[in-house]
Amino acid sequence: MNALLTVTGLTVRLPLDGEPRKVLSDVSLGIGHGEAVGLVGESGSGKSMTARSIARLLPQGAQVEGEIGYAGTDVRALRGQGLRDFRSKVSMVFQDPRAHINPVRTIGDFLTEALRVNRRVSRRVADGQAVRALEEVGVADSRRRLRQFPHELSGGLLQRVMIASALLTEPRLLLADEPTTALDVTTQAEVMAILDELRRERGLALLFITHDLELAAAVCDRTMVMYAGRIMESRASALLHERPLHPYTAALTAARPSVLRRVHRLTTVPGRPVSAFEAPGGCPFAGRCAHVEDRCRERRPDLRPLAGGEVACVRAEELHQEPAVTRD
């Protein structure tokens, strides 16, 4: 695959209670030109940290091992102007737009800052570009919006402003970290529609981070499932959803109630999701898995190719043969 972004063996430790604790463990992934990839996981799975590592937005004191390559450049070695250029090509949209926008500056200031400061574009030209970007994400009356302050806009509208700002520098890759989680369902549908449309029109690659497996499967070509700082499965979305390879993916699918039908009891997974530094030796999911065997606890299973995707489970083949075991 001619990948736009490649991550190889990424391990990240963050200082927690004065000690470096592992939050990502040997993460490898690739994103092709114009490809939409979903990254799904529960809290502490490392999905946001993966995106932050790529965008070079890790907190101070983070220890990073592994390689991150973007279109042939070593992202981890970038400094100064090189890093600024990289960030204009790889934009990020966050979950809570209100936490990532200066409340005392206007929407116009926010949208045009990067253009004026980094690219030395005049205010008038920058304003014109901002107006067009807002129209592109479906914000009506965009000239007036430039003079408004963040508190005057609803959450859905503000998230559209964030997407517009991410698009202004004409990126090739958009890292979207739960961009719709704080939004109402109908607004979520609109924001997803906008992302989907922009992606197709501009050939933009997308790393879409969410806790919602169904949402990821609905809008992404390929979905990766993370648990305890590791990628457990990576596969075409339709396949992953219909016949998951990893017991954890199957458990996630079965645990989520369906809007189509009621079940007598939801199939639950005992225990709670763990972070990378809490995970036991061997397979990190072993303690909660219904199909666990002794060998699962002995060695960490590597991510290996199977059935058109990749999976990190030693029993994947045999479980894949008997789908009745994992699904109701």
Partner 1 sequence: MTEAILQVEGLRKVFGAAVAVEDVSFSLAPGGSLAIVGESGSGKTTVANMIVGLERPTAGRVVACGRDRSRPPRSARERRERGHEVQIVFQDPYSSLDPRQSPAAAVDEVLRLHTRLGAPQRRRRVEELAELVGLDKRQLAALPSRLSGGQRQRVAIARALAAEPQVLILDESVAALDVSIQAQVLNVLADVREHTGVAYLFISHDLAVVRQVSDEVVVMQGGSIVERGPTSRVLDEPEHPYTRLLRASVPTLGWRPARRLTHFSTEAR
Q: At what angle do helices 155-167 and 107-118 cross, to 10 degrees?
A: 10
**Binding to partner 1 in span 194-213, by CB under 8 A:** 194, 196-197, 211-213
Cα separation, 237 vs 221, in Å, equals 6
Q: The tokens of 295 are what? A: 């060998």
Cα separation, 243 vs 253, in Å, equals 10
Minimum CB distance to partner 1, residue 209 (Å): 15
Under the binding rule (CB under 8 A), the answer on residue 295 touching partner 1 is no
Minimum CB distance to partner 1, residue 163 (Å): 13
**Binding to partner 1 in span 48-87, by CB under 8 A:** none
Taking only Cα atoms into account, the Rg of the chain, rounded to an integer number of angstroms, comes to 21
Select 219 or 286, whichever has its Cβ closest to partner 1.
Answer: 219
Counting runs of H as helices and runs of E as strands, what totals does the chain give?
A: 12, 12
β-bridge partners, 67: 8
Q: The tokens of 270 are what? A: 């005992």
Amino acid letter, 2: N
**CB–CB of 58/31 below 8 Å?**
no
Minimum CB distance to partner 1, residue 99 (Å): 17
Minimum CB distance to partner 1, residue 154 (Å): 6
Cα separation, 125 vs 10, in Å, equals 40
Strand 173-177, strand 222-227: pairing:
unpaired
Under the binding rule (CB under 8 A), the answer on residue 153 touching partner 1 is yes
Under the binding rule (CB under 8 A), the answer on residue 256 touching partner 1 is yes
In three-state secondary structure terms, 47 is helix
Residue in 2, 262, 308, 321 binding partner 1, rule: CB under 8 A = 262
**Binding to partner 1 in span 168-187, by CB under 8 A:** 184-187
**Binding to partner 1 in span 115-144, by CB under 8 A:** 138-141
Minimum CB distance to partner 1, residue 135 (Å): 11
Under the binding rule (CB under 8 A), the answer on residue 268 touching partner 1 is yes
| Sites of contact with partner 1 (CB under 8 A) | 42-43, 138-141, 152-157, 184-190, 192-194, 196-197, 211-215, 217-219, 237-238, 241-242, 251-252, 255-263, 265-269, 272-273, 288
